[in-house]
Amino acid sequence: MQLGMKMASPRIGVRLAACLLNISEGRKRDVVEKVAKAALCQDNGQEHPQITVLNVFSDYDYNRSVITIAAPVDKLDGVISACTEAFQSIDMAAHVGIHPCLGAVDLVPIYPLSNVGVQECGTVARNIAEHLSLCVPGCSIFLFGQADLPNRQSLVQRRKQLNWFNRRVLSAARVVADVGSAPTSRYGLTGVGASPYVMNCNVTVDTQDLGTAKKIARSIRGSSAGGLKGVQSMAFRHNGQIEIACNVESFDDPGNPLATYEGSEYVSYCILGKTYYYVSPQIIEASIKKLARDHGINTVGAALVGFTPEECMRCAAYALTKGVGEFWRIRDGVFM
């Protein structure tokens, strides 16, 4: 963030949501920027006044980019334009990268930021999926979270069903799309859904021992005994070292008293009277650092891909109030 920038809170009643669009291109900067700009462009070619692109993060080894798009929840049609541009520009059949992926547009998650519920975001996500299938004949979509009715299966559950974690080559014969047609080699398979906010936090460990790094990644997962709730993690070779990549889910847990999470490693925030929690990036880095040290390994850095939920909300409110569509241009370290 630029020094001296005063961030705003959303005006009362403004209902903001964000899409952290994941596309399978991180090496061609011109392509990534075309996709980001497409989110802002109206049919008349003018910039949409109620949509902002907050961040563009690209990784060469992963060959993947995350584009953060924010708008009032009923104005997120720019996501469809961005996806359409990505489908036109990215050939999944030619994709090479170390990060698992299934589609040219790999993931379209919709997250509530302020004054909007996750169920409504699910409705928006389903509408986006239907419009995409019309705008891009041949695209194939699976739904997750609040968009996956009636089961509301999580993204992790749907990815396991599709074997996302184990392969990058999709067998169309084994997949029945929720929306659109059977997967093609060019477009692949796209996940569209909605859930409470999910951050991406990556920690680099100074080792070539992938087996040990995978043990560390397993230890911090929320599914492991003693792990961090809401954290999913994988280990990848990256820039000559190994990166432990973490998805950090926000969650509400009415089964436990608030004191279970407040004042500990969990950060809380509130939307529409509901309290959500997530593990702070600092705690994730500290936990990985301790586990790495137990194996005689050092950590050499950590990166938050984009924003925490509160930061995303404040940046969106500022950008939309000031009419800054290309907000990512005034952020440091856009392409890392």
Counts of helices then strands in the chain (DSSP H, E): 7, 13
Q: Provide CATH 3.30.990.10 ranges for the chain.
A: 16-195
pLDDT score at 2: 37
CATH architecture of 198-305: 2-Layer Sandwich (3.30)
| Cross-strand partners of 57 | 66
105-138 in b/e form (b: 16+ CB < 10 A) is bbbbbbbbbbbbbbebbbbbbbbbbebbbeebee
pLDDT score at 3: 31
Task: Look up tokens 């709730």; give the residue.
Answer: 229
Q: Provide CATH 3.30.70.670 ranges for the chain.
A: 198-305
pLDDT score at 69: 98
Pairing mode, strands 190-194 and 140-145: parallel
CATH architecture of 16-195: 2-Layer Sandwich (3.30)
pLDDT score at 333: 38
pLDDT score at 334: 33
CA distances from 147 to 77, 109, 219, 273, 312 (A): 16, 10, 30, 22, 22
Q: What is the pLDDT along the chain (336 residues), one digit of tens a residue?
A: 333 345 556 665 689 999 999 999 999 999 999 999 999 987 667 788 899 999 999 999 999 999 999 999 999 999 999 999 999 999 999 999 999 999 999 999 999 999 999 999 999 999 999 999 999 999 999 999 999 999 999 999 999 888 776 654 455 557 889 999 999 999 999 999 999 999 999 999 999 999 999 999 999 999 999 899 999 999 999 988 999 999 999 999 755 654 455 556 789 999 999 999 999 999 999 999 999 999 999 999 998 988 999 999 999 999 999 999 999 998 653 333
